[in-house]
Structure 1
Amino acid sequence: MSILLNRETRVLVQGITGRAGRVQTKLMLEYGTNVVAGVTPGKGGEQVEGIPVYDTVDEAIAKHGAEASVFLVPPAAVKDAALQTIQAGVRLIVIVTEHIPVHDVMEIREYARDREVRLIGPTTPGVITPGEAKIGIMPGNM
């Protein structure tokens, strides 16, 4: 049994249509991660690696549910996206993005802590359960 995620954990990728989002989604899928949806505002209806893309977190959660979300979005977009994701009930948030304003991070951390949401990051390579699933940008093998 894994601590934070396993192959059944439903994962939402925020920023899935960007260059990093596309590459990392493909690598997560190849590793065995259960990526169920992606979110990029204005890109709803598209697909990345066969994964449906939605305009909002609420749409993605309503259709697919998710226990975890990874953020591959610009620094200025992280705060609003994180607060929406926490409010939607996602229990594990992995923020890969770096250079997020410190006050935004403080607000996200407090909001997550008050709702008992596990926050990994920002500026993290992610989380991996060997042989099961990975969320983030770390390699699945070396």
Structure 2
Amino acid sequence: MKNLAQKVGETLAAKGMKLATAESCTGGWVAQAVTAVPGSSDWFDCGFVSYSNTAKQKMLGVDAEALNTSGAVSEPVVAQMAEGALRNSEADIAVAISGYAGPEGGSEDKPVGTVWLAWAITGHPTVTCLSFFTGDRDDIRLQAVEQALEGVMAYLPG
């Protein structure tokens, strides 16, 4: 994780870009991972931990209809979370995560381990990804954080 966060930071710094995060099930773990890297203030702007639906609406501008229709763990909601983080920060790229880390929660359609991620990049379409992780709560959250950082690397322009 430390090496991946370091690589993200080096790449963002080289491009003169900044990152923001919008996290639900990971509770700020992506922000913690990147701020553990010395010098991260050069390329990390801020993180939003929006665990409740109310926080998603107030902090990130997530639409109540999307929450009511699709649920917090859904493509439209995670896309709006990423776009809201980008809009409400000085960042050039934002990553968002919403999922069911367990041990409770989830449903037959969205079992524990279901995680939606999104990356919003200034001047580019928002990218989303549905993943199904396995293991206990910490395992699922760790896999989501790693995928979030890998996605930052994959979706950075140029």
TM-score normalised by the chain length of structure 2:
0.35
In terms of fraction of residues, the more helix-rich structure is 2
TM-score normalised by the chain length of structure 1:
0.38
